Amino acid sequence: MRREFKRRLASGARRQNMKLFFDTSALVKYFHEETGSQQIAALIEAKEHERWISEIARVEFFSALFRRFRNGEINGDELQAASLGFDDELGTFNVEPMGHSVIAEAAILLQRFGKGHGLRTLDALHLATFNLIAEQDWRYVVADSALCNVARLLGFEAINPIE
């Protein structure tokens, strides 16, 4: 089923009314052209989809942009354009707040997947948020193979735009 979905997504076909939770690794691709950007744009721009992010995505997004700037991957104009674009687009996403339950869930996920699957702190916080709010028809959108695999181990369908 995952392969079939990827083929339909790549060919431009879309599922109707998907609930998509974007990890920052995928979200940043909408605001900076890189591998996977076209797939992310198709998901975000499809008006029938509900788009969700964790509250921490805003902080992590800017951290990722500044890292790209420091590494010379983007210039000052691209940094400013991505920052402004993100601020403008943020209002179109449902933002799930972080609280005690997310932190507790992240700790459980780290204990379960940290050692053998390389789950890291911020990834655990995003995945914990998703795990607590998602229902069966939700999709986790992430551009990190290890995190994508952990989401699948939890029984969720994950969309990785760079696979």
Model confidence at 11: pLDDT above 60: no
* pTM for the full predicted model: 0.86
Exposure string over 16-25, b if 16+ CB within 10 A, otherwise e: eebebbbbbb
In the chain the domains, ranked by start, together with CATH numbers, are 16-159 (3.40.50.1010)
Q: Position of tokens 């735009």?
A: 161
Which band of pLDDT confidence, cut at 50, 70 and 90, is reported for residue 6? Answer: very low
Query: How high is the mean pLDDT of the chain?
Result: 90
Please report the DSSP string for 68-90 in residue order.
Answer: HHHTTSS-HHHHHHHHHHHHHHG
Place 16 in a pLDDT band, splitting at 50, 70 and 90: low
Instruction: Write out the two tokens for 158.
Output: 């994950």
Quick check: 50 pLDDT over 70? Answer: yes
- The residue that leads in pLDDT, 159 or 14, is 159
pLDDT category, 92, cuts 50, 70, 90? very high
Q: How confident is the model at residue 17 (pLDDT cuts 50, 70, 90)?
A: confident
Report the range of poorest mean pLDDT among 2-6, 11-15, 104-108.
2-6
Average pLDDT over residues 133-153: 95
